[in-house]
Amino acid sequence: MTEMNVFTSKRNRRLALLAAAGFAVGVVGAYLLIRAYAPFLFDAAAMREWVGQFGAFAPLVFITAQVAQVIVAPVPGQVTALVGGYLFGPVAGTAYSMVGVTVGSAIAFLVAQRYGRPVVERMIDESLLDRFDGFVETLGVPGLFLFVVIPGLPDDVICFLAGLAHFRLVVFVSVMFIGRLPAYVVTNFAGDGLATGNALEAIVLVAALVVFSLYAYRKRDEIRQYTRGM
């Protein structure tokens, strides 16, 4: 499937909308359950104090979780980054998140590069692999950056596919880090806003991220043509 179908398939758009709706329902459901059965989780000061008792072990666990979500877990990195901002604050949360997703991306890349397509086909859902196969190879570094700079696109899948392409590891890691950094900064500040009682700030930041993603999606044709000309 070409990159054109990636952007214009009606079926893919419906699936994306259903996924977004499902995610929203899941967030609301989780919120209600936590409020009912684990209200202490909403006491950010108590949570940060509790996490602080574990010393360096707490950041290590969080970083490991970020690595895992890139390689094996179908959880968007921005969700765990929100948790990082809530638990560690915006600066440390961003740092831990970026270390985790960068290491996880490098591992995914190297696994694909070392063991080839048969392993990638076993690790990635066939429908996703078909949708994005060849996309990064076609658009090169600009296409890779396009995927990671826009939140919501399956950049974890691209980590494996990039390992099958012609990229060097240092180029791949650099693009992934730079491309992901803005969204992770925003989500970590939003998480910190929730922790410090600035819910409005958190909502505005997340809303801005969503609006940016939707705008970029609407301008997908122009973006694609721009990246092809670079």
| 18 domain-assigned | no
pLDDT tier at 169 (50, 70, 90 boundaries)? very high
Which of 161, 140, 160 shows the shortest CA–CA distance to 229?
A: 140
Mean of pLDDT over the chain? 76
| 9 domain-assigned | no
Which of 132, 141, 137, 124 shows the shortest CA–CA distance to 164?
A: 137
| 133 domain-assigned | yes
| 205 domain-assigned | yes
pTM score of the predicted model: 0.73
The residue-averaged pLDDT of 44-67 equals: 83
Residue-wise pLDDT tens digits, 128-165: 676 666 666 666 777 778 777 777 666 777 888 888 88
Which of 157, 115, 118 shows the shortest CA–CA distance to 135?
A: 157
| 26 domain-assigned | no
The residue range of the domain holding 112 is 43-228
Which of 39, 90, 95, 50 shows the shortest CA–CA distance to 193?
A: 90
Contact (Cβ atoms closer than 8 angstroms) between residue 62 and residue 169: no
Say how many domains are in the chain: 1
- 31 vs 130 pLDDT, higher one: 130
| 131 domain-assigned | yes
| 169 domain-assigned | yes
| 130 domain-assigned | yes
Residues in the chain: 230
